[in-house]
Amino acid sequence: MSVLPIRVLGDPVLREETRPVADVTDDLRRLIDDMFETMYAANGIGLAAPQVGRTERVAVVDVEGAKYALVNPEVLVADGKKEKAEEGCLSIPDVYADVERPGHVVVRALDRDGQPFEVEATALLGRCFQHEIDHLHGKLFLDHLSFLKRRSALARWEDEKDQYPGFIRILKPGASKSEHPEEEL
Q: Which is nearer to Zn ion, 9 or 24 (CB)?
A: 9
Dihedral sign (CA 20, 141, 77, 122): positive
Q: Which is nearer to Zn ion, 89 or 109 (CB)?
A: 89
Q: Which is nearer to Zn ion, 24 or 126 (CB)?
A: 126
The least distance separating Zn ion from the CB of residue 6, rounded to whole angstroms, comes to 10
The least distance separating Zn ion from the CB of residue 184, rounded to whole angstroms, comes to 8
118 included as an active-site residue: no
Active-site annotation holder among 56, 132, 183, 184: 132
Phi, psi for residue 93 in degrees, rounded to 5: -55, 140
Q: Is 62 helix (H, G, I), strand (E, B) or coil?
A: strand
Q: Which is nearer to Zn ion, 24 or 183 (CB)?
A: 183
153 binds Zn ion (CB under 5 A): no
Cross-strand partners of 58: 71
Specify the stretch interacting with Zn ion by CB under 5 A; choose among 14-22, 32-40, 75-83, 88-96.
88-96
- Name the residue among 87, 94, 2, 90 with its Cα closest to residue 43: 90
How many other CB atoms sit within 10 Å of the CB of residue 148? 8
Is the Cβ–Cβ distance between 78 and 115 less than 8 Å? no
Specify the stretch interacting with Zn ion by CB under 5 A; choose among 10-18, 81-89, 101-109, 162-170.
81-89
Please pick, from the candidates 6, 24, 69, 185, the single residue that binds Zn ion as defined by CB under 5 A.
185
Residues 6+ apart with CB under 8 A from 153: 92, 95, 97, 142, 145
Specify the stretch interacting with Zn ion by CB under 5 A; choose among 14-22, 24-32, 83-91, 175-183.
83-91
Report DSSP state, residue 10. T
Q: Is 84 helix (H, G, I), strand (E, B) or coil?
A: strand
The least distance separating Zn ion from the CB of residue 112, rounded to whole angstroms, comes to 21
Please pick, from the candidates 35, 89, 119, 124, the single residue that binds Zn ion as defined by CB under 5 A.
89
Phi, psi for residue 41 in degrees, rounded to 5: -65, -30
Number of residues engaging Zn ion in binding (CB under 5 A)? 2
Given the rule CB under 5 A, which residues bind Zn ion?
89, 185
Known catalytic residues are 132
